[in-house]
Amino acid sequence: VAARRHGASSRLEGLRALNRKESRRLDELARLASLAGCAVQVEDDARLSIGPAGAAPHELVLDARGDHRLAFAGAILGLEFPSVLVLGAECVAKAWPGVWRDIAAAGAALRGPDAGLASARRLP
């Protein structure tokens, strides 16, 4: 979000264990940042650099791949982008059952067949 909003760059280090979690989190975070229109570089399976790049897409669709932390990342992007759909949003139920309610309280709207397990989306 900072890379898009402020033209800032971030470099995260010590991430080697992320690809050994519920999903290949480092790779998925890199993919998500790329989908959000950021320049991304993964180094040595341990470092992630994210910086500003091209125009922001109108809509993001991301698959949480059963990983609640990827769903949370999508929820945060739902506050910045006009349309974000998190597929598999129900994976947050055990870790933070009220995340979609809380993200709505922060300014995002919810959509989906079950608003309690819906994806974050700010309406235009």
In this structure, which amino acid lies at residue 64? A
Cα-based torsion angle of the residue sequence 77, 4, 33, 45 in order, rounded to the nearest 10 degrees? -130
pLDDT interval class at 123 (50, 70, 90): very low
Nearest to 88 by CA among 110, 70, 65, 54: 65
Any idea what DSSP says for residue 56?
P
- Global pTM? 0.76
Nearest to 61 by CA among 89, 39, 38, 41: 89
Q: Ranked by mean pLDDT, which of 44-48, 73-77, 84-88, 105-109 comes out on top?
A: 44-48
Residues 1, 6, 11, 50, CA torsion sign: positive
CA–CA separation, 118 and 37 (whole Å): 24
**More confident: 1 or 74:** 74
CA–CA separation, 24 and 98 (whole Å): 25
Q: 3-state class of 59 per DSSP?
A: coil
pLDDT for residue 109: 58
Cα-based torsion angle of the residue sequence 43, 49, 55, 60 in order, rounded to the nearest 10 degrees? 80
Across 46-50, 86-90, 98-102, 108-112, least confident range: 108-112
pLDDT interval class at 14 (50, 70, 90): very high
